[in-house]
């Protein structure tokens, strides 16, 4: 049996954890590639590439078709800039059209509201992340949105989690990172945060063997475990949710 979660705040990954955004990411990538006359990719291929942000996604798409390789010429750099600009435009114009919020996520966030401060820590750049969260109608539930606006911030680097913990006024050891892939768990390890791996999402099959996250089968399970971990006398929210 899992031990109670000794946490004071929760950080969620975005893509593959809160929302199934793969169809919209695929659309944005393929739209950008098409503008440059490059080959597009099917949804299953793009889904397997998600997790490291749009710049890495674009690099994988280019490498897959032998374009803009490691030599890093000015022409390569200019192409990547144009692709990223087109990717952002496509995302902001349709943040969550074909994708969806995972079942149970709205109830999870509503149930935790007022009991735990919640943040989003994602490798998607902040403006794109906020647009997706807003389109998903879950932006009001989170206190912070931290996106990888530079390569140095990108998970598995711990900077975003550490900054979130500092702003919330909690020790990293009490900030739970909830995600679906190795970047999330390695980020938590580097920051000294506990981690939970969700069973849905994109990257759970590729978790390094030395990591031992808490495994979460459903949003309902996570909600129950977090509310059960509240100090005695503060569980009225749990009773309200589960006894109605």
What is this structure's pTM? 0.92
Confidence of residue 51 (pLDDT cuts 50, 70, 90): very high
Q: Which CATH superfamily is domain 9-21+99-242 in?
A: HAD superfamily/HAD-like (3.40.50.1000)
> Which residue of the set 13, 15, 20, 180 is catalytic?
13
235 or 21: which leads in pLDDT: 21
Residue 43 tokens read as 């949804």
Q: Do domains 9-21+99-242 and 22-93 have the same CATH topology?
A: no
pLDDT, residue 6, reads 84
Domain boundaries, the chain: 9-21+99-242, 22-93
Stretch 128-157: mean pLDDT:
97
DSSP E strands, the chain? 9-12, 19-20, 100-101, 118-122, 144-147, 175-179, 195-198, 214-216
In this structure, how many other beta carbons lie within 10 angstroms of the beta carbon of residue 24?
22
Residue-level pLDDT at 1: 44
Provide the CATH topology of domain 22-93.
DNA polymerase; domain 1 (1.10.150)
Measure the CA–CA gap between 72 and 36, rounded to whole angstroms: 18
Query: 72 Cβ partners below 8 Å, 6+ apart?
Result: none
pLDDT band at 73 (very low <50, low <70, confident <90, very high): confident
Average pLDDT on 197-219 reads 91
Average pLDDT of the chain, as a whole number = 92
Instruction: Mark whether 13 is an active-site residue.
Output: yes
The predicted pLDDT at position 5 comes to 76
Average pLDDT over residues 119-146: 98
- Among the listed ranges 17-31, 63-77, 210-224, which one has the minimum average pLDDT value? 63-77
Residue 68 has pLDDT above 70, yes or no: no
What pLDDT does residue 236 have?
A: 44
pLDDT at position 31 is: 98
Q: Exposed, middle or buried by CB within 10 Å (0-12, 13-18, 19+), for 140? A: exposed
Identify the band that residue 63 occupies on the pLDDT scale cut at 50, 70 and 90. very high
Mean pLDDT score, 137-144: 96
């Amino acid at each position: 049996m899992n031990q109670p979660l000794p946490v004071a705040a929760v950080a969620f990954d975005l893509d593959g954890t809160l929302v199934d955004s793969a169809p919209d990411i695929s659309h944005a990538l393929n739209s950008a590639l098409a503008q440059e006359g490059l080959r597009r990719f099917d949804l299953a291929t793009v889904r397997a590439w998600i997790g490291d942000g749009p710049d890495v996604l674009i690099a994988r798409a280019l490498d897959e078709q032998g374009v803009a390789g490691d030599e890093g010429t000015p022409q390569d750099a200019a192409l990547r800039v144009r692709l990223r600009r087109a990717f952002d435009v496509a995302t902001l114009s349709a943040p969550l059209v074909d994708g969806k919020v995972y079942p149970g996520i709205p109830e999870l966030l509503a149930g935790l509201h007022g009991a735990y401060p919640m943040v989003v820590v994602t490798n998607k750049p902040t403006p794109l992340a906020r647009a997706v969260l807003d389109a998903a109608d879950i932006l009001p539930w989170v206190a912070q949105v931290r996106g990888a606006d530079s390569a140095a911030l990108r998970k598995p680097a711990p900077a975003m989690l550490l900054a979130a913990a500092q702003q919330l006024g909690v020790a990293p050891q009490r900030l739970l990172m909830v995600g679906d892939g190795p970047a999330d768990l390695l980020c938590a390890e580097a920051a000294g945060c506990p981690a939970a791996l969700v069973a849905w999402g994109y990257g759970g099959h590729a978790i390094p063997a030395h990591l031992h996250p808490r495994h979460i089968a459903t949003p309902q399970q996570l909600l129950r475990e977090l509310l059960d971990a509240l100090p005695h006398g503060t569980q009225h929210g749990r009773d309200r949710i589960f006894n109605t």
